[in-house]
Amino acid sequence: MSEIYHECGLAAVYHLPGKAVSPLCPPQGPDQVSRLIPRILLDVQNRGQLSAGMTSYHPQRQALLETYRGVGTVSEVFRLSHQGKAESIMERCAGRAAIGHVRYATCGKEDLSYAQPFERHHLQKHKWFSFGFNGQLANYAELRDKLLADDDHHLARATDTEIIMHEISRELSGDRRPPWQEVMHNVASRFDGAYCLVLLNALGEMVIARDPWGFRPLCYAIEGPLLAAASESVALLNLGFSHPSIHSLGPGEMITVTGGQIKLERFADSPRRAHCYFEWVYFANVASSMDDRSVYLARKTLGEELARLEDIPIDEDTIVVPVPDTSKCAADAMAFRLGVPSAEGLIRNRYSGRTFIEGTDNRARKAASKYTPLREVLEGKRVILVEDSIVRSTTMRVLVSRMRKVGLAREIHVRVACPPITSPCFYGIDMSTISELFAPRFMREDRPLEKIYDEMARELGANSLRYLPIESISRAVNRPAEELCRACITGHYPTPHGQKLYQIALANAQAGSPSEATDSWPARTYETPAARV
């Protein structure tokens, strides 16, 4: 599914001073533990391909904090294909502590000034900090307007990352030096939405925090003197941390490193848990575990749920075909339960480039070049095409058409390992208006679900279409429904400002507003500032 994208991925490492050298430390020694950051970012590259960057701390360097950022993938930014240039960057950014970030913009422009980490310089070391952020604030407009109410204040970018930077700076203003637990507690009382963040200051203090709802995942591991954190557990496992030492940071929890000591503490109460179910369905690496649930097992269960509900005739010409790559677990599990082959009938070109920032026509052309149907697999077959979700439907329309024309498939039955997505996301996923979504225009309470799905199938050019019911999600994730954010499939948002934005979007959509425009949201990469709800 190449139509929908996550915002960011985070990384952090810290080798405590005065301790025995960790066996996981790079050969260059503890003062260059920052070299681990690109390795971590490569493992969370799935969460953002627009820009990458890092900030390191070194107490013997003139620039106590050194920030390096660039537009492009991790390999491009850190010049990993050029040994000499990569080594030069690592020498420049050497440090015993570092944070890193990869970005896909759900808001803000596609240029270097929006790349993270954001560094705020200051004469006083405890006020000089750099941070990276993953998520989105639903009350962005309210926070922005309060800041700009004072004529002395100015925002240079249309992004909530800058809002967070200013809110943290406000807590550090004056002569007091509040503890980080107090700083995070106070900003949390003003934030509504999703925010995981990693922060490093010029005193060598580090903060790793996850919002009180726990929308986005954040994992950490501590072995001896080495602390590391990442958006996904697979990055820590690949660094060499043992599985038992890798944990999910709880909602409203933070890890601080101050005075050479690591501390885990709570900075805010959790009004409710709201883990994004879509992390398990699509976003996260299949090798990761989040909040004690394996992504692989969740997707496998989704496939088993699809098999349980399947009602088309199964014969020797029936095959299951996944849409590469995130649908493969569900497709394999479905095929196994049905007793039919799971075949690679679509081959993905991994080097065709990104499609998500293109206009509709360009996105369709990119989708056509990204997936190649195999006639040798598809010809004359009844194909059960398994997809993890359908958002705008651009890719699915292209796939169904090409599987018929190029692959010569006899029948194509689309099965979606997710319920219909009917509502926007205001917590960091690139689907912000009702009008851009495929399902809402079909979903009417006065019509039987079967007839709705038949109409959707005709629109896509498929023989049939079926989605999973909403109750399948909590079974697959193995968490109570009330602990998941399912707003995009239910229309019920876990935070007040999220629900408020949805009501605005609904009213505008029902009034026929083509852009559902308000000024309540930062601009998407390919929209004007007014075009986002």
What is the domain-level CATH number for residue 168? 3.60.20.10
User: Cα–Cα distance between 483 and 465 in angstroms, integer?
Assistant: 29
Share of the chain above pLDDT 70, in %: 91
Residue range 512-526: mean pLDDT, rounded: 46
Residue range 145-159: mean pLDDT, rounded: 80
In the predicted structure, residue 158 carries a pLDDT above the cut 80: no
Query: Which band of pLDDT confidence, cut at 50, 70 and 90, is reported for residue 38?
Result: very high
Residue 502 lies in a domain: no
Same domain for 205 and 117: yes
Residue range 458-482: mean pLDDT, rounded: 97
Tell me which H or E stretch contains 11: strand 8-15
412: β partners: 383
Instruction: Please name the residues in contact with 60: beta carbons below 8 A apart, sequence gap of 6 or more.
Output: none
Instruction: Please name the residues in contact with 161: beta carbons below 8 A apart, sequence gap of 6 or more.
Output: 108, 114, 116, 118, 133
In the predicted structure, residue 355 carries a pLDDT above the cut 50: no
Q: pLDDT tens, 476-485?
A: 999 999 999 9
* Active-site residue, selected from the candidate residues 8, 93, 329, 485: 8
Same domain for 70 and 19: yes
Residue range 318-330: mean pLDDT, rounded: 95
Residue 282 lies in a domain: no
Residue 445 lies in a domain: yes
Residue 213 belongs to what domain range? 8-271
pLDDT given at position 356: 40
Q: Count up the domains in the chain and report the number.
A: 2
Residue range 156-178: mean pLDDT, rounded: 90
Share of the chain above pLDDT 90, in %: 79
Residue with the two structure tokens 């319920």? 419
Domain-ending residue, one of 223, 239, 271: 271
In the predicted structure, residue 513 carries a pLDDT above the cut 70: no
Residue range 359-373: mean pLDDT, rounded: 71
pLDDT given at position 352: 60
Instruction: Please name the residues in contact with 479: beta carbons below 8 A apart, sequence gap of 6 or more.
Output: 273, 275, 291, 293
pLDDT given at position 515: 52
Residue range 458-485: mean pLDDT, rounded: 97
Same domain for 255 and 312: no
Instruction: Please name the residues in contact with 278: beta carbons below 8 A apart, sequence gap of 6 or more.
Output: 389, 418, 429, 488
Q: pLDDT tens, 414-440?
A: 999 999 999 999 998 888 789 889 999
Mean pLDDT taken over the chain: 90
pLDDT given at position 108: 45
Instruction: Please name the residues in contact with 62: beta carbons below 8 A apart, sequence gap of 6 or more.
Output: none
Q: pLDDT tens, 281-323?
A: 999 999 999 999 999 999 999 999 999 999 999 999 999 999 9
pLDDT given at position 19: 87
pLDDT given at position 359: 42
Residue 265 lies in a domain: yes
Same domain for 473 and 338: yes
Distance between first and last Cα of the chain: 23
Same domain for 217 and 301: no
Residue 496 lies in a domain: no
Full DSSP string of 15-75: E-TTSPPPTTS-TT-GGGGGGHHHHHHHHTGGG--SEEEEEEE-TTSSSSEEEEEEES-HH
Same domain for 239 and 181: yes
pLDDT given at position 512: 74
User: Cα–Cα distance between 283 and 326 in angstroms, integer?
Assistant: 8
User: Cα–Cα distance between 362 and 347 in angstroms, integer?
Assistant: 20
Say which DSSP state 215 is in. Answer: -
Same domain for 229 and 325: no
Residue 525 lies in a domain: no
pLDDT given at position 419: 97
User: Cα–Cα distance between 37 and 45 in angstroms, integer?
Assistant: 12
User: Cα–Cα distance between 120 and 248 in angstroms, integer?
Assistant: 28
The C-alpha torsion from 455 through 398 and 280 to 267, rounded to 10°, is -100
In the predicted structure, residue 197 carries a pLDDT above the cut 70: yes
Which CA distances in Å does 251 have to 168, 188, 267, 396? 19, 12, 9, 35
pLDDT given at position 269: 94
Query: Which band of pLDDT confidence, cut at 50, 70 and 90, is reported for residue 521?
Result: very low
Q: pLDDT tens, 177-188?
A: 999 999 999 999
Top pLDDT among 430 and 74 is at 74
Q: Which of 279, 277, 281 is nearest to 416 (CA)?
A: 281
Instruction: Please name the residues in contact with 205: beta carbons below 8 A apart, sequence gap of 6 or more.
Output: 126, 180, 256, 257, 258
Do 266 and 214 touch, CB atoms closer than 8 A? no
Same domain for 297 and 265: no
Q: Which two tokens stand for residue 45?
A: 């590259």
Residue 22 CB-half CA count within 13 A: 25
Residue 285 lies in a domain: no
User: Cα–Cα distance between 343 and 340 in angstroms, integer?
Assistant: 9
3-state secondary structure 271-328: CCCCEEHHHHHHHCCCCCEECCEEHHHHHHHHHHHHHHHCCCCCCCCEEEEECCCCCH
**CATH for 467:** 3.40.50.2020
Same domain for 297 and 267: no
pLDDT given at position 516: 52
Query: Which band of pLDDT confidence, cut at 50, 70 and 90, is reported for residue 12?
Result: very high
Do 319 and 346 touch, CB atoms closer than 8 A? no
Residue 479 CB-half CA count within 13 A: 21
Same domain for 346 and 263: no
pLDDT given at position 432: 76
Top pLDDT among 193 and 528 is at 193
Q: pLDDT tens, 381-419?
A: 999 999 999 999 999 999 999 999 999 999 999 999 999
Same domain for 385 and 266: no
Residue 491 lies in a domain: no
pLDDT given at position 75: 96
Query: Which band of pLDDT confidence, cut at 50, 70 and 90, is reported for residue 276?
Result: very high
Whole-structure pTM value: 0.91
User: Cα–Cα distance between 88 and 125 in angstroms, integer?
Assistant: 26
Top pLDDT among 289 and 114 is at 289
User: Cα–Cα distance between 483 and 214 in angstroms, integer?
Assistant: 9
Q: Annotated catalytic, 8?
A: yes
Same domain for 479 and 449: yes
